[in-house]
Structure formats: C-alpha cells, structure tokens
Amino acid sequence: MNDLCDISLSRRSLLIAGALSATATTVPLTADAQPTPAPAPAPPSTAKFTFQVNGKPHTLEVDTRTTLLDALREHLHLNGTKKGCDHGQCGACTVLVNGRRINSCLSLAVMHEGDKITTIEGLGTPEQLHPMQAAFIKHDGYQCGYCTPGQICSAVAVLDEIKQGIPSHVSADLNAKPLLNAAEMRERMSGNICRCGAYSNIIDAMTEVAGRV
Ligand code: FES
Ligand code: FES
C-alpha cells in the first residue's frame, strides 16, 4: 500500500512539475529578459588587384570570393569564357594563365595579381584567327559551340605542353619527349567535355595545327 502511495505521489509530482515548466515556457518575457539580438553579419571582404587580360592591364576591386571566371565575365564582360558546371568538371571555363591552362571557375580572382591571362577573345580576332580557331572551323570541331572557347584554349595549351616535353598518363616513357599523336591529345583534352560529341573533329583540328608546330 505504501509503495502504491509512493508511486502515485511521485507521478503527481512529475505531472505538476511538467505543468509548471510548460507554463513557464508560455509566460512572455519581460522587457528586461529579451534575448540579445544576433550581431549583424560582417560586410563581405573585398580586395584590389591588378592583372593583365589579353594584353591589357586591369585593376579590379572584388569580393575575395569572386572566381577568376566571374571576374572575367561579370566585371570585364569577356563572355567568351563559358560557365558550364562551375565545379571544375567540364572545362568550359578554361583560360590560359601565364601560358598554362586552368579551370577559371576553380581559381579566386584575387590570386592573380600580376598574372597574364589569355581568354578566347585574346587568342585571335575575327579578321585574324588563331590557327587553332581556323582549324576548328575547317574541321567542324563544334556544334552548339558552348564548350568551344574552353576547348580551343585547352588545345593551344596542350600542343605547347607536348612541345615542352611534359608527359601525360598515356606517355609510355616519362623521360622521352611525348609523341604528338591522337592518344596523347585525347588524354590531355579529357578535362574538356563536349556534350555535342565533336571529339573526333577536335582531334582532327589539333592534328592539323600540330603539323605546323
Ligand atoms: Fe569550370 Fe566547368 S565551368 S570546369
Ligand atoms: Fe556543343 Fe561542345 S559543341 S558542347
């Protein structure tokens, strides 16, 4: 009997305590007890830098999170360089930095102080095409053209890499000069995706230009 009383008492105490805590949560806070407002978010941090794009000096002040791709497209209005995935997976944003190709969507603009950037607009002009641009046209190295600026920038850099003797994953002998063949070119162009599937024509265009290197 005593045990039963104890159990019922403790259940009653529990219910009372629960009711009190529920009431406490619904009691409005007095002016003194208002929570401290969250601090205002800090303004974005910006930085100024100077670089050369297609032979011309530019000074930009941008949010430090701005990618090189967005700096080129949104700030300098060089829209030839395309944004495909924005994640380093398609190669549409390929540009040359001091002669080497990079995915501009994966690089922060402010890291390029003093760099020399070449975009598709800087390779050739409509009146005087770069040999790679002319070869892409001759060999139908594109269909919709969205990947093409990145493909052409990459193709120019690939021939230069082979010329410099830089090996790739398919180079049989890492110490020998890489062969200037389709397998080498395909491997080196594998980071540039073409949804239209113009791959074989792109290799034909590169092969023609390579013959002139
Ligand atoms: Fe840069 Fe796709 S947009 S790799
Ligand atoms: Fe259309 Fe390459 S030409 S994606």
Q: Averaged over 188-210, what is the pLDDT?
A: 98
pLDDT band at 22 (very low <50, low <70, confident <90, very high): very low
* Ligand 2: residue whose CA is nearest its atom 2: 194
Is the pTM above the cut of 0.75? yes
Q: Would you say the CATH fold of 124-213 matches that of 45-123?
A: no
CATH for 45-123 is: 3.10.20.30
Q: Which long-range contacts (CB under 8 A, 24 or more apart) does 106-110 make?
A: 106/67, 107/67, 107/68, 107/69, 108/64, 108/65, 108/66, 108/67, 108/68, 109/49, 109/60, 109/62, 109/66, 109/67, 109/68, 109/70, 109/71, 110/47, 110/49, 110/62, 110/64, 110/66
Q: Averaged over 92-107, what is the pLDDT?
A: 98
> Is the four-CA dihedral 176, 177, 182, 185 of positive or negative sign?
positive
Task: Provide the token pair at 28.
Answer: 């409005």
Q: Cα–Cα distance between 183 and 189 in angstroms, integer?
A: 10
**N residues, the chain:** 213
Does any ligand 2 atom lie closer than 6 A to the CB of residue 14?
no
CA dihedral 151→155→161→163, nearest 10 degrees, is: 180
Q: Cα–Cα distance between 96 and 82 in angstroms, integer?
A: 14
Mean pLDDT of the chain: 89
- Domain locations in the chain? 45-123, 124-213
CATH for 124-213 is: 1.10.150.120
Q: Cα–Cα distance between 147 and 62 in angstroms, integer?
A: 27
Task: Give yes or no for a contact between 106 and 115, defined as CB atoms under 8 angstroms apart.
Answer: no
- For residue range 123-158, list pLDDT tens digits in order: 999 999 999 999 999 999 999 999 999 999 999 999
- For residue range 167-176, list pLDDT tens digits in order: 999 998 888 8
> Is the four-CA dihedral 75, 79, 82, 83 of positive or negative sign?
positive
Task: Give yes or no for a contact between 109 and 71, defined as CB atoms under 8 angstroms apart.
Answer: yes
Which one is predicted more confidently, 34 or 164? 164
Does any ligand 2 atom lie closer than 6 A to the CB of residue 143?
yes
Q: Which of 79, 82, 90 to mutate to test the pocket of ligand 1 (most atoms within 8 A of CB)?
A: 90
